[in-house]
Chain A
Amino acid sequence: MRCDEAQELMSIYLDGELDLMRNLELERHIKACPDCEPVRESALQLRSAIRKEVPYFRAPRSLADRIQGAARQESRQVAPRRPAMPYWQWIGAAAAVALLLVTVKFGRNWIGPSHDQLLAQEIYDAHVRSLMVSHLTDVPSTDQHTVKPWFDGKLDFAPPVVDLAQEGFPLIGGRLDYLDNHAVAAMIYHRRLHYINLFVWPTSDTQNRAPALAVHEGYNIVHWTQGGMEFWAISDVAAGDMQTFAGLLRK
């Protein structure tokens, strides 16, 4: 990594937003480079100065009371003007209010997203990040026999690497990523003008789960398990193509 690149990435690195590989590269570079260490120091100084000197304004206690008062008053004003509602609308409204109260009171702890939903969010983040910082591949290669050995020594498992160029999904490379508290293998495939990120890591789940399709922020995510591995594929290609892709990999 060059110094200008390292210095440009420094604050992204300190914000914890850099992908795993460049994180490692940058750390290695800083250790060895006398010019970049001061850049890191001054960025850290700025951060601690901001946190020390910039005041965090907490809401005055009276504000919460004021808001609750206003909310009560508003609901009182609105109520008499409402025309009579059929009973089924009352049920709907009551359910909405109950949901509101419960949600406000218990917040995310109570209706928190499931593990798979959280993971889908992580997968989505990793996918977007890989496209965003033009860091799609660590080992750009269309040859599965290059990509597979590249993972050796970087991961404690051997991900299956398959090229599907014949079937219209050429492999374009591999990358290390970090998901669900593991280092994972990311394989990148092309589909016409789109990219598919395929994330693979070992699972203790011995059942082979069939592909399940979900949509997250407009991206199609397919998840399955096979041979003791978790597979998560994400892309903006059509859902049908994603199903085909998953089907080909499971052969």
Chain B
Amino acid sequence: MLPHLDAAYNLARWLVRNTTDAEDLVQEACLRALKGFTGFRGGDSRGWLLAIVRNTCYTWLNKNRRLEPVEFDEKVHTEEVPVAEPERVLARNAAHETLDKALQELPAEFREVIILRELEDLSYKEISEIAGVPVGTVMSRLARARARLQLCLAPQVGKEA
């Protein structure tokens, strides 16, 4: 009866990183989606729902900032992010981390592009519509997130050699 519920829950769970809040937020988003259905002009219903889930989660994240990575507040929200910064800050302990944990510690904007691209298999354009940013921004966030996650794989290669 509720299409795309798994996709909605997975995104929320990755954005807020705990089960209880993810469930509450998905419920809230679905109710908003159902209410707003008459405003839905056709097209991609999954993308439409995911955009609502994302907005709901970001509102929650803004209220609960202390739970986010420290870098999130000041730096990621400003236009000019020094390119080396997130990589440098987040690169600590990379060698001992699992991918799962590394992804959890990325700022939300970077986490979501990985989830939407790799787990939901969405196109750049679909992601850009959900996140409300240009395709170029999606591409650069993906590139930076991947560069960061790649650090988790590097040590294993080193050990084998």
- A residues contacting B by CB (< 8 A) are 11-12, 15, 17, 42-43, 45-47, 49-51, 53-60, 63-64, 66-68, 70-71, 74, 96, 99-100, 103-105, 107-108, 111, 113, 125, 128, 132
**CA gap between A67 and B53 in the complex, in Å:** 14
CB interface residues, B 4-52, toward A, < 8 Å:
5-6, 8-10, 13-14, 22-23, 26-27, 30-31, 34, 37-38, 40, 42-43, 45
Interface size class of chain B, counting residues whose CB lies under 8 Å from the partner chain: 35 or more
**CA gap between A125 and B129 in the complex, in Å:** 13
- B residues contacting A by CB (< 8 A) are 1-3, 5-6, 8-10, 13-14, 22-23, 26-27, 30-31, 34, 37-38, 40, 42-43, 45, 98-100, 103, 114-115, 117-119, 123-125, 135-136, 139, 142-143, 146, 149-150, 152-153
Most buried by B among A42, A57, A111, A128: A57
B99 adjacent to A53 (CB under 8 Å)? yes
Q: List 24 A-B contacts (CB under 8 A).
A: A42-B153, A43-B146, A46-B150, A50-B119, A54-B100, A54-B103, A54-B118, A54-B119, A56-B10, A56-B119, A59-B8, A60-B9, A60-B23, A67-B31, A68-B2, A71-B31, A71-B34, A96-B38, A100-B38, A107-B45, A111-B42, A113-B43, A128-B125, A132-B136
Query: Chain A nearest CB: distance from B51 CB in Å?
Result: 15
- For B45, the chain A residues whose CB sits under 8 A away are 103, 107-108
With A49-B99, A56-B119 already in contact, 16 other A-B pairs whose C-beta atoms are closer than 8 Å? A11-B142, A43-B146, A46-B153, A50-B114, A51-B119, A53-B98, A53-B99, A53-B100, A58-B10, A63-B5, A63-B9, A67-B5, A68-B1, A71-B34, A74-B31, A128-B135
B5 adjacent to A64 (CB under 8 Å)? yes
A59 adjacent to B114 (CB under 8 Å)? no
Q: How many A-B residue pairs have CB under 8 A?
A: 109
- For A57, the chain B residues whose CB sits under 8 A away are 9-10, 13-14, 22
- For B153, the chain A residues whose CB sits under 8 A away are 42, 45-46, 49
Query: Chain B nearest CB: distance from A13 CB in Å?
Result: 12
- For B150, the chain A residues whose CB sits under 8 A away are 42, 46
Q: Do A55 and B23 contact each other (CB < 8 Å), given the known contacts A11-B142, A74-B31, A107-B45?
A: no
B27 adjacent to A70 (CB under 8 Å)? yes
B27 adjacent to A66 (CB under 8 Å)? yes
- For B103, the chain A residues whose CB sits under 8 A away are 50, 54
- For A128, the chain B residues whose CB sits under 8 A away are 125, 135
Query: Chain B nearest CB: distance from A219 CB in Å?
Result: 14
Q: Determine which of B26, B40, B118, B135 lies in contact with A51 in the assembled complex, contact meaning CB atoms within 8 Å.
A: B118
- For B3, the chain A residues whose CB sits under 8 A away are 104, 107
- For B100, the chain A residues whose CB sits under 8 A away are 53-55
**CA gap between A235 and B12 in the complex, in Å:** 37
Q: Determine which of A12, A74, A125 lies in contact with B125 in the assembled complex, contact meaning CB atoms within 8 Å.
A: A125
Q: Do A100 and B34 contact each other (CB < 8 Å), given the known contacts A51-B118, A57-B22, A68-B1?
A: yes
Q: Determine which of B2, B99, B135 lies in contact with A64 in the assembled complex, contact meaning CB atoms within 8 Å.
A: B2
